[in-house]
Amino acid sequence: MVRVLTAVLSTVLIAASPAVAQTMRAVTAAELQSILGEAGLATSVIEDARTGAPVAHVQTAGGLQFWVRALDCSGTPKACATLM
């Protein structure tokens, strides 16, 4: 029950916070996985079948799961300028 309440509270807090964007530089799938891993998040990266863009599946220690999709990709290996 405590885990459920923690997950619900976390979701509400995340949903209530404003969206923030920061423009840095384009990242590759390997860099995306490395960045999320260094943040302490369990991450697996797959490739979108239609576009070839990286999509990261992330799971937190509390069991919360989310996806990070890369957009605006170009080059070889694909480097993507937008993460959603």
**pLDDT tens figures, 15-27:** 555 555 566 688 9
How far is the C-alpha of 3 from the C-alpha of 28, rounded, in Å?
Answer: 34
Asked whether residue 8 is domain-assigned, the answer is: no
Asked whether residue 14 is domain-assigned, the answer is: no
Asked whether residue 2 is domain-assigned, the answer is: no
Asked whether residue 13 is domain-assigned, the answer is: no
Summarised one tens digit per residue, pLDDT across range 47-64 is: 999 988 999 999 888 888
Asked whether residue 3 is domain-assigned, the answer is: no
Q: Is the pTM of this model over 0.85?
A: no
Asked whether residue 76 is domain-assigned, the answer is: yes
First-residue to last-residue Cα distance in the chain: 31
15-to-2, 19, 57 alpha-carbon distances in Å: 20, 9, 19
How far is the C-alpha of 58 from the C-alpha of 25, rounded, in Å?
Answer: 21
Asked whether residue 16 is domain-assigned, the answer is: no
- Residues whose CB falls within 8 Å of the CB of residue 74, separated by 6 or more in sequence, listed in order: 26
Provide the domain count of the chain. 1
Q: Give the structural domain span for 36.
A: 22-83
How far is the C-alpha of 69 from the C-alpha of 65, rounded, in Å?
Answer: 13
